[in-house]
Structure 1
Amino acid sequence: MQRVYGEALFSVPVNVEFGCPNRERDGSGGCSFCPEHGARAAQIADAKSVEEQIQKALSFAKRRYNAKAFALYIQAYTGTFASLIKQKETYEKLLALYPFRALHIGTRPDCLSESTLGYLAELNQKIDVVVELGVQSLHDASLKRMNRGHDAVCSLAAIKRLHGKGLKVYAHVIIGLPNETPQMWKESVQGLVNAGIDGIKFHNLHIIQNTDLAREFSRTPFPLLSEYEYAEALIELLRYVPSHIPILRLATDTPERELIAPKWHMAKGQFGEYVAQTMRYRGIRQGNLVEKELEESDAIPQKISLKDGSTTLWNEIYRDYYHPKAGAIRQAQELFLAHSNLKERLEKSGVTLLEIGFGMGYNTFMATQLAQTVAQNRLHVKAIDQDRMLLQKASVVISDTLHVKMLDALFTCKRYDDDFAKVEFLNAEARYALRLLDEQFDVIFLDPFIESNNASLVTLDFFQHLRKFLKPDGVLVASTALQVSQVGLNLAGFDVMVIKDATSDIQGVVATLSSSHILHVKEPYRDIYGIYNDKQIETLHQKSSN
């Protein structure tokens, strides 16, 4: 919008009460997912007239987003389900109420007469007109199941007809429909891209009160996507959308009082930030699977040599280095390896190790080297980190060729093998990654970097979840000595021993499963839904401690 108009445009949603050809006169029927009010925007729900709707929407956008430029959006029901005379009267009346920069009309693929197309093309000479089509899916079985009233061919034909009149077309797509698979989502997206779509609005499936889908769900519940699951699906789909196609929406909005499921706890803005951050951490972007890769930067990461001769990197976000000044190798050996008794464990049997916060890989690399030295039993490591690109940056500054070999293998294929060790890399946010595991471990390494800035890794709730993955005789070693972390571990059912080296800045804790429950007065960090960002966790902690 900034590129086209010189500034961002904010939507002003309006309900013109044109109704829908897929509903009866009493409002019954319609698509199985659609509420009785036709997905009317929440901020105008109580407005008595279209003039009041516009005023409320303008005030909301100006107050909340400091908006200055606007597009009129005919949102609810079907914006072209009226006589041509009625459409002209309505649109011209609305456009006269405010100097809008564009007109967006939400409608159905089967509700575009030739006379309507001709009028919209004429109107497009005066103001930018965008037709937003409810495509939802390009699979006929899904369209039939949701009582959509048209097939996929109709959607593609509508896009072609609109383009023939010189009109832009945005498509609405639902991700997570019953019986649809990730491959089917991909096929729908690719079909729209091949049709030359001008923009896409993604919606995760919502079960809304008083809909046919809600009644179906109450009889036979079917899986719905959590925040993390939907983000994973969306990120993969975005890689097949060329970068010149704008993404106008990432997730669905439904008023809390009307929503049956799924119950998310991640705010809309936070979800968008999570998706964007995850893509940056993985080194991927919109369209990167269908476009030529961008040239990689030759810039050398900012590094520092530590006292033990190892090298670490500077983190711009946290404004600190990844490792203590005493050294990354020394921290790995003297904290993680020594206090997990890894050598003794490897001498007895094979060892399973979970590392959370893989970072530059020093802890895992030193563990694999120890397994090679002992040369008796195999070490199996599952390493979790959201930042895949850190592996590539680390390989540039680390001098040990075997360490670099491991980093390169994990970066390219997420797996590294040698004679006595195997490493698997899980490139995901730690709280989500744990949901994908179904085994217990002999040893857990937790390396949260700067705990106060990675608060999500040291909450009571995370420790409680982590406890399930530790074998009865297992040990957890963490590079955190915060009091709040010790309290959280105690309350989660761990016995905790603090490790502090008077000769260095290496510090941490060793935790084993406890049979007793210790009561503490001080509040731990909390993250009850497993979705809060680090700032939210710190803010909640400060409020609860006051």
Structure 2
Amino acid sequence: MNNDRFYSLNNYLKDKFGKKIYKVSLDGGFTCPNRDGTISSQGCIFCSDVGSGEFAGSRRKNISDQIDEQLEFIKSKNKDNKVIAYFQNFTNTYGDIKYLEKIYFQALAHEKVIGIAIATRPDCIGEDVLQLLKKINEKYFLWVELGLQSASDSIGEIINRGYNTCTYIETAKNLKKENIKFVTHMIVSLPTEKKEDLYNTVKLINSVGSWGIKIHMLYILKNSKLEKYYNENSFKIYNEDEYVETVISLLERLNKNIVIHRLTGDPKKEDLLLPTWSLNKRKVLNSIHKNMKLENTFQGSKIEE
């Protein structure tokens, strides 16, 4: 635990590597089974046309060039230039196993890269991918990110997630068995969501041994499927105070050893419809810190014995 009252990724990496470590976001040229017709052609209703990698490198460039390009962007604040290569865009284990091995090791071969992070779906880690991840994990720093969003299968159907919660549990079990660190994504303010759904999601994340978590607000993007759904099925969108209060209540119910990778997100201003308050990321984070201090509360403080 740290002065921030929760176990942040920043502090975890400082403890492990002895200094601040940045991530560089890469585009491996992937698609998603929820877009290419394997499961659906619609995608999750909250996902943008470029996946979740709005700030990733260009897929027109090779992995090494993308890393160099991203390093140039952060050179003013990253003097040591040591980074984690983050395969962010779409589903980064959804491809031919030889191609996956090629691009992962291209990233690891870069002189400035000290490890990789791979964002994917729980239904896209078959045995061949699992063995490749195991091979990498034995020699390099690695984490895998799984997009759960909610433990509720009924909410999963609304957002067109394309897999059930049992699939997440099984994949988490397989990764845990191989000692591969994984991060679970969850979203606040999904359609029909109740507080109990959020608490059940955190309870599940605790129970499967997730190494890390990413929490962020649901964004409604302009001209998206979610905008259409919202116009037809108006559901609650949290205001800033409600979001801050909710995130704190989730942290209080989260195991103390789970690393906090994100507590809010980075929507692009020109694409965002709602909620507009989410554009001020620093203010949201400051409010979470301030309120936790005022309430004298901590990550894990309300976990039942």
TM-score (norm 1): 0.51
Q: Which amino acid aligns with 2:16?
A: V
Matched residue, 1:159: 172
Deviation sequence 1:462-518 (CA, Å, 0-9, x none): xxxxxxxxxxxxxxxxxxxxxxxxxxxxxxxxxxxxxxxxxxxxxxxxxxxxxxxxx
User: Partners of 2:164 and 2:87 in 1: how far apart?
Assistant: 23
Deviation sequence 1:164-191 (CA, Å, 0-9, x none): 1110010010111011011110110111
Alignment pair present for 1:267 and 2:277: no
Determine if contact 1:109/1:133 at 8 Å carries over to the other structure: yes
Count of matched residue positions in the alignment of Structure 1 and Structure 2: 292
For residue 13 of structure 1, the aligned residue among 13, 25, 32 is 25
User: Partners of 1:41 and 1:83 in 2: how far apart?
Assistant: 24
Alignment pair present for 1:132 and 2:145: yes
Deviation at 1:291, TM superposition (A): 7.7
For residue 239 of structure 1, the aligned residue among 227, 252, 255 is 252
Q: Kindly tell me: are residues 272 and 67 of structure 1, through their superposed partners in 2, closer, same or farther at Cα, counting changes over 3 Å?
A: farther
Deviation at 1:42, TM superposition (A): 2.3
User: Partners of 2:77 and 2:175 in 1: how far apart?
Assistant: 34
Matched residue, 1:372: none
Alignment of 1:75-86 (within 5 A): 75-86=88-99
Deviation at 1:65, TM superposition (A): 5.8
Alignment RMSD: 2.2
Deviation at 1:48, TM superposition (A): 4.6
Matched residue, 2:16: 4
Deviation at 1:83, TM superposition (A): 1.2
Alignment of 1:51-62 (within 5 A): 51-62=64-75
Deviation at 1:46, TM superposition (A): 9.1
Q: Which amino acid aligns with 2:106?
A: K
Q: Kindly tell me: are residues 66 and 270 of structure 1, through their superposed partners in 2, closer, same or farther at Cα, counting changes over 3 Å?
A: farther
For residue 126 of structure 2, the aligned residue among 113, 126, 131 is 113
Q: Which amino acid aligns with 1:146?
A: I
Determine if contact 1:36/1:210 at 8 Å carries over to the other structure: no
Deviation sequence 1:1-31 (CA, Å, 0-9, x none): 1122222221111011121111126x94111
Structure 1 window deviating more from structure 2 (59-68 vs 259-268): it is 59-68
Matched residue, 1:288: 301
User: Partners of 1:263 and 1:66 in 2: how far apart?
Assistant: 33
Determine if contact 1:12/1:72 at 8 Å carries over to the other structure: yes
Deviation at 1:229, TM superposition (A): 1.1
- Aligned structure 1 segments of 4 or more residues deviating by more than 4 angstroms: 45-49, 64-67
Deviation at 1:64, TM superposition (A): 4.5
Q: Kindly tell me: are residues 265 and 143 of structure 1, through their superposed partners in 2, closer, same or farther at Cα, counting changes over 3 Å?
A: closer
Alignment pair present for 1:144 and 2:157: yes
**Corresponding residue SS for 1:110:** helix
Alignment of 1:95-106 (within 5 A): 95-106=108-119
Matched residue, 2:3: none
**Corresponding residue SS for 1:104:** strand
> Percent identity over the alignment?
30
Determine if contact 2:188/2:215 at 8 Å carries over to the other structure: yes
Determine if contact 2:87/2:119 at 8 Å carries over to the other structure: yes
Structure 1 window deviating more from structure 2 (104-113 vs 212-221): it is 212-221
Q: Kindly tell me: are residues 256 and 64 of structure 1, through their superposed partners in 2, closer, same or farther at Cα, counting changes over 3 Å?
A: farther
Matched residue, 2:208: 195
Matched residue, 2:224: 211
Matched residue, 1:249: 262
User: Partners of 2:222 and 2:162 in 1: how far apart?
Assistant: 21
Q: Which amino acid aligns with 2:130?
A: L
Determine if contact 1:42/1:255 at 8 Å carries over to the other structure: no
Q: Which amino acid aligns with 1:81?
A: Y
**Corresponding residue SS for 2:143:** strand
Deviation at 1:260, TM superposition (A): 1.2
Alignment pair present for 1:35 and 2:35: no
Q: Mind listing any 5+ residue stretches in structure 1 that lack a counterpart?
A: 293-546
